[in-house]
């Protein structure tokens, strides 16, 4: 009796969607990070201070906003980014928003403070890396806020990993670590740092992002958006006491969003 002929099944191979594959990998890494690194799916051993950070203060008329910045304005090492963040947070508080800022601790500072109506909570240290780790725990348990503002100075807080849990989140980039690696680390480690930074920043694709720029950059953006040759008066008068918003598109085009927005 002749042996039966083998049956061959033809499977159609769909073209690979690299973006979809990237999203799946990112979500898988986020789950692994939350489950095995931060242990956020287990309640045992969670310090009560972490739970206190996670809840927003009592609601006020304007809503609840959480700022995340590596230093607050009272930190001895605070600079321009801290002043800018505080000025924005202070103005939101003045307009009726309930504003909380998560920031790092420093010697002699209390764990909590109220500065110009902004409720400041200090946790972890920058030098040891504990601040960024503690922030991840807070993001995992964040409840009751309407907006999160991530302020980045060199090292981001990776809020896109929590995008399915967080409310509307805006990331404000004051400075990247690109210019710091060579000054702080030996060349092989600096090269590794730059490589890692690019991979971390890719998490922010498709997320609302703001980049803080100085006057020369703003004038260059205005020229790109309007065709101005930068040789005479600009087509729009810029008030340097205000904010100016531009949108950069994937195809390289720059457009004016809003100019002269009061702080």
Which CATH number do you get for residue 151?
A: 3.40.50
Instruction: Identify the pLDDT of residue 167.
Output: 93
Q: CB under 8 Å, gap of 24 or more: what pairs does 226-231 form? A: 226/256
Same domain? 100 vs 225: no
Of 86, 231, 63, 68, nearest to 145 by C-alpha is 63
Same domain? 166 vs 222: no
Same domain? 132 vs 238: no
Q: Let me know: does 121 contact 104? Beta carbons within 8 Å.
A: no
* Domain count within the chain: 2
Structural domain boundaries enclosing 117? 21-200
How much is the pTM? 0.69
Average the pLDDT over each of 50-64, 97-111, 122-136, 196-210 and give the range with the smallest value.
Answer: 50-64
Same domain? 115 vs 194: yes
| Cα dihedral 238, 246, 87, 174 in deg (nearest 10) | -120
Same domain? 169 vs 221: no
* pLDDT confidence tier of residue 47, bands split at 50, 70 and 90: very low
Phi-psi sector, 214: left (phi>0), alpha (psi -120 to 50), beta: beta
In this structure, is residue 210 part of a structural domain? no
Instruction: Identify the pLDDT of residue 1.
Output: 56
pLDDT digits (tens, 9 = 90+) for 92-138: 999 999 999 999 999 999 999 999 999 999 999 988 889 999 999 99
Same domain? 159 vs 231: no
Instruction: Identify the pLDDT of residue 27.
Output: 55
Phi then psi for residue 253, to 5 deg, are -75, 145
Same domain? 161 vs 223: no
């Amino acid at each position: 009796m002749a042996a039966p002929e083998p049956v061959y099944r033809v499977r159609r191979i769909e073209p690979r969607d690299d973006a979809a594959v990237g999203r799946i990998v990112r979500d898988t890494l986020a789950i692994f990070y939350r489950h095995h690194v931060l242990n956020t799916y287990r309640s045992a051993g969670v310090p009560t201070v972490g739970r206190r950070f996670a809840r927003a203060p009592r609601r006020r008329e304007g809503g609840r906003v959480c700022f995340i910045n590596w230093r607050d304005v009272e930190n001895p090492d605070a600079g321009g980014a801290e002043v800018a963040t505080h000025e924005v947070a202070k103005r939101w508080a003045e307009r009726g928003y309930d504003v909380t800022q998560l920031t790092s601790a420093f010697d002699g500072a209390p764990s909590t403070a109220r500065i110009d109506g902004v409720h400041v909570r200090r946790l972890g240290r920058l030098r040891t890396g504990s601040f960024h780790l503690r922030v991840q725990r807070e993001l995992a348990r964040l409840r009751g806020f309407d907006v999160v503002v991530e302020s980045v100075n060199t090292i981001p807080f990776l809020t896109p990993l929590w995008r399915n849990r967080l409310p509307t989140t805006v990331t404000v980039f004051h400075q990247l670590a690109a210019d710091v690696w060579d000054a702080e680390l030996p060349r092989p480690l600096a090269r590794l740092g730059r490589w890692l930074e690019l991979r971390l920043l890719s998490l922010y694709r498709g997320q609302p992002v703001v980049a803080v720029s100085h006057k020369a950059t703003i004038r260059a953006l205005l020229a790109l958006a309007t065709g101005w040759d930068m040789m005479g008066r600009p087509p729009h008068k810029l008030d340097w006491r205000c904010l100016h918003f531009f949108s950069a598109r994937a195809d390289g085009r720059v457009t004016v969003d809003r100019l002269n927005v009061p702080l």
